[in-house]
Amino acid sequence: MSLKTVIKNEIEQSPNSSITFERFMTLSLYHQKYGYYQKNAPKTGKRGDFITSTSVGEVFSRVMARVLIKEFQKNEYAPVIVDAGSGDGNFISSFLDEVKTVDYKFYEKLTYFVLESSPYHQHLIAERTKHHNVLIYSSLSTIKKELPKLNGILFSNELLDAFPVRVIEKQRELVEVCIGLNDYDCFEEVYIPCTDPEILNWLACHELQVSDGQRIEIPLAMGEWLNEVGIWLSHGKVFTVDYGYTNEEWETPGRRGGSLRGYQDHQFIENVLQSPGEMDITTHVHVDAIRNIGLSHGIQWVDCLPQGQFLLKEGLLQFLQQTNPDNPFSREHKQNRAVRWLAESNQFLVMIQEKRPKKDDA
């Protein structure tokens, strides 16, 4: 049986002969056997379908290591880092190498929790971090058994954009874009009147305006994750690296088609329905919603900067190396190219939030 068959069977068995985009994405990305993220294959860097800033070299992880070391020095956080959606382990390995070099005493006290659902990535992380104090968990529910409350720092890099989303469109009336089958037994979009109270409540709570002809993704699953994190975090900071839009940006003409897109072999795929399980499917995150949900749990909004600007502020240029012009493929040249790429990587945002304990809890 193929993933297409799994999805088709679910569509045929559903009361409306359709499933939500959220369900389609969940099966495409996270199906236990056929899902894109569950496969035993590289998914980041030159051999994968998307490139994150951790893949351009060790520079990003080294800068972030120094950033987080300073946070622990300035604040009375427990020496705990939770890395959510950790990828293949390259970031973690070079991050902890840098922590060990810069502040060995802190390194000895630090516990690094990894939250990664992919068994393939779990194996890679275990191999690449076997000389460090790293604990690997597959879900937030399992990590909470070990760590009932989080005092420390939660870090994620391109995690939230991978949460499945609902999709709505304004066609005079609000409709939900779902997935059905056409006469040729191929996946197609179908439109159903949007009456789901969760979607309507999201629009109202986050003051999101949808104009006629506009399509937008509604990240209910991301909201559930953020609420769970908000309850879990007792004291510390949250560093979220991702691409996203504010409500104001969502309302501009260039965003009217939404942000849902696929990537396969470094190529942009407009039709995300064509190869379920074979491509990465992502969306831009809702920045105002991240802020609002955090505030509802007492998590203050500290800052939101383009990634390049953030890294420059945090000392990125100190990683530039003197080079030999006769060897453009040297390690120094590669590092300098990574620095330049990161300095211009302003399509990503770095969002920083903080929760301090109530006086009664301190």
Q: How confident is the model at residue 43 (pLDDT cuts 50, 70, 90)?
A: confident
Q: Which residues contact 260 (CB under 8 A, 6 or more apart)?
A: 21, 165, 167, 217, 272, 281, 282, 283
Percent of the chain with pLDDT over 70: 95
Question: Residues 28, 198, 242, CA angle at the centre, nearest 5°?
Answer: 55
* Residue 64 predicted with pLDDT over 70: yes
As a whole number, the mean pLDDT across the chain is: 94
Per-residue pLDDT reduced to its tens digit, 188-220? 999 999 999 999 999 999 999 999 999 999 999
d(CA 326, CA 293): 53
* Residue 295 predicted with pLDDT over 90: yes
Q: Where are the alpha helices (DSSP H) in the chain?
A: 3-13, 21-30, 59-74, 90-102, 104-109, 119-128, 140-146, 197-205, 220-232, 247-250, 287-296, 307-313, 331-343
Q: How confident is the model at residue 53 (pLDDT cuts 50, 70, 90)?
A: low
Question: φ, ψ for residue 240 (rounded to 5)?
Answer: -120, 120
Percent of the chain with pLDDT over 90: 84
CA 44 centroid distance within chain: 13
Beta bridge mates, 152: 236
Per-residue pLDDT reduced to its tens digit, 20-39? 999 999 999 999 999 999 98
d(CA 58, CA 56): 7
251: three-class secondary structure by DSSP: coil
Determine contact, residues 101/132, Cβ cutoff 8 Å. no
101: three-class secondary structure by DSSP: helix
Tell me what pLDDT residue 343 has. 94
Q: Which two tokens stand for residue 314?
A: 């945090």
Q: What's the first-to-final CA gap in the chain, in angstroms?
A: 55
* Residue 254 predicted with pLDDT over 60: yes
* Residue 44 predicted with pLDDT over 80: no
Q: How confident is the model at residue 142 (pLDDT cuts 50, 70, 90)?
A: very high
Q: Which residues contact 298 (CB under 8 A, 6 or more apart)?
A: 230, 355, 358
Residue whose C-alpha is closest to residue 64's, from 104, 94, 106 = 94
DSSP 18-58: -EEHHHHHHHHHH-TTT-GGGSSS--BGGGSSB--GGGG-S
Determine contact, residues 313/346, Cβ cutoff 8 Å. no
Positive or negative, the CA dihedral 70, 319, 331, 52 is: positive
Per-residue pLDDT reduced to its tens digit, 262-272? 998 888 888 99
- What is the pTM assigned to this prediction? 0.94
Residue whose C-alpha is closest to residue 143's, from 229, 20, 63 = 229
* Domains defined for the chain, CATH in brackets: 1-34+166-218+248-283 (no CATH), 50-164+219-243+285-355 (3.40.50.12710)
* Residue 362 predicted with pLDDT over 60: no
Q: How confident is the model at residue 323 (pLDDT cuts 50, 70, 90)?
A: confident
Q: How confident is the model at residue 330 (pLDDT cuts 50, 70, 90)?
A: confident
d(CA 21, CA 164): 8
Looking at residue 223, the DSSP 8-state letter turns out to be H
Q: State which amino acid sits at residue 200.
A: L
Torsion, Cα 219 171 274 116, to 10 degrees, reads 0
208: three-class secondary structure by DSSP: coil
